[in-house]
Amino acid sequence: MNIYLPPSYSTSTKRYPVVYVPGGGDLIKHCVNHLYRLYLEGWLPELILAGVETYGGQTESIPRADESDAGGVLVPGGEEARAFIDELADRIKPYLDDHYRTIQDGKRTAIVGSSADALPPLFAAYFRPAAFGNIGLLSPALGYDRLMEFICAQPALSGHLRVFLSAGAQEGLQERQASRSKAGLTLELRRLWQSQGLAGDQLAFELEEEGTHDTMFIAGQFPKALLWLYGGEAERPLKPVRDMKDTGVTASMRYELPRTETFRLRAECSGLAYCIFVSQPLRPAPAEGYPVLYALDGNAYFGSLAEAMGMQAWHPEGIAPGLIVGIGYDSEEPFVYGRRMYDFTTDTPESEIRSDGMAWPPTGGADSFLEFLEQDLLPQIQSRYPVDRSRQSLFGHSLGGLFSLYALFGRPSPFRSFIAGSPSIWWNNYALLHRLPEFEERLAQGADLTELIIAVGSEEDPSMIEDALLLYQRLQPYSGQGLALSYMLIEGEDHLSVIHPMISRIFRRIFHN
């Protein structure tokens, strides 16, 4: 056991709360100087920190089925995990209480762990809440077989517990073949506890947008957990207020598109956050509501789409007014490479390499992203604006075009029109085409009318043009039989310049009066 005593311990007679940290206290090691600064500045009351070694590393943290249980009921960590929690409560805690000036009250005692070492605090919350009233779960490893099933079967947590739960939205994205991010499981646990009545002052939840499952990120969450669990007991000084001096310089005004707004929306299934850009037409909505175009890569394309709509729908004889919704990211870059690579693609074999010899960044988030669009974004837009739900379109270009096709070929969709601009059909050895038979079967059985527009520039890579044309030709037999199919070869344009002439042609198709 590694004991970290607070700075005033040797010169005072005070008693201190104890925080137990499974895994030997590595979390403490990485930020002990920062914690001492928080003590000295009065932001955090002084604590005794106890790094507790676990038997054989993390084995008692890992849930496994109890082989003696014929019903296969999950026992958390088998007998070892329960024995570890009981020893901590019945032997280690009393030992520290006898040999150090501790506050023995369980309501003032904490157990905080990360990753697999967050599971002992989780089980302590269920089995020994009287001994540990403060629980910290930092990026908890919730993906073990049947663990969430076990948690769902437990009664609600004790009403006196206070729990700090945190995760990074990027956790798990770097793992190949991962069906969902680790943050999604943490969100699921949070929703469960909230549904069971864990009140806001009992549960703190922090989801860091750029957080990854590594020491640097997780160690930064440890002080935050302690501040939330114990900061209310501190005598925190007010920070000095700096005088604002008039420099005599008037701030310049930034140009903004009229009738537009931007908001952040987080995906319930993955925890990833998106910047949503919305442009509402000047003309009022018809009785049935506005048709809507949802555009991927909103950082790059929203401005062009919104301005085109403003111009072309302004005149009464122009196109029908429509709502433009861009789906983007918190960045000033037009293309957020890592995020779009993950959101728009299916899993890529680890052996697959790029033409430059490098491995691909994290991929495989297409299903989670599609769930975000259908379950989170569309309902949010429909609640904010008058929307014609029968005229919703999805636009994507390049990898976004690949995703647009992926969304079309899969399950029935709330989108009526799909625009695949210069689609990267080649991705992952043409894996997209494996979904075509399912789509063709739906068309053969009389699926509701769907529109597909395939567009490509004449100066693009010849293989890009050939792939787009071959897909168009394969789907031609279904044209008019549940599928309104168009192919546009836009002369004189390359992979990026094709966007602007493509916009006008697309608008005439999906925003017709």
Q: Which of 61, 393, 398, 422 is catalytic?
A: 398
* Distance of alpha carbon 131 from alpha carbon 160, whole angstroms: 11
Confidence band of 175 (pLDDT split at 50, 70, 90) = low
Q: Is 374 a catalytic residue?
A: no
Contact 402, 344 (CB under 8 A): yes
Identify whether 46 is a catalytic site residue.
no
Asked whether 509 and 451 are in contact (CB, 8 A), the reply is: yes
User: Mean pLDDT throughout 129-134?
Assistant: 92
Select the highest-mean-pLDDT range: 142-146, 198-202, 320-324, 332-336. 320-324
Q: What is the pLDDT of residue 26?
A: 82
pLDDT digits (tens, 9 = 90+) for 236-269: 543 443 444 444 445 555 667 888 999 999 998 8
pLDDT given for residue 352 in this prediction: 57
Residue from 307, 371, 440, 495 carrying the catalytic annotation:
495
Least trusted range by pLDDT, from 126-135, 240-249, 392-401? 240-249
Answer yes or no: is pLDDT of 79 > 60: no
Active-site option among 80, 208, 460, 493: 460
Residue 158 catalytic? no
Mean pLDDT to the nearest integer, 188-201:
87
Distance CA 373, CA 267 (A): 9
Which string of b and e fits 15-30 if b means at least 16 CB within 10 Å?
A: ebbbbbbbbbbbbbee
Contacts 24+ apart (CB under 8 A), 458-466: 458/489, 458/490, 458/491, 458/492, 458/493, 459/492, 459/493, 459/494, 459/497, 460/422, 460/493, 460/494, 460/495, 460/498, 461/495, 463/426, 464/422, 464/424, 464/426, 464/495, 465/489
53-67, 166-180, 192-206, 424-438, range with greatest mean pLDDT: 424-438
Full-model pTM:
0.72
Mean pLDDT of 128-136: 92
The whole-number average pLDDT for the span 140-146 is: 81
- Check residue 181 and give its pLDDT: 60
* Residue 80: band (very low, low, confident or very high) from pLDDT cuts 50, 70, 90: low
- Average pLDDT of the chain, as a whole number: 84
| pLDDT tens string 336-395 | 888 898 999 988 765 555 555 556 678 889 999 999 999 999 999 999 999 999 999 999
pLDDT digits (tens, 9 = 90+) for 476-494: 999 988 899 999 999 999 9
Model confidence pLDDT, tens digit, residues 269-327: 888 899 999 999 988 899 999 999 999 999 999 999 999 999 888 877 788 999 999 99
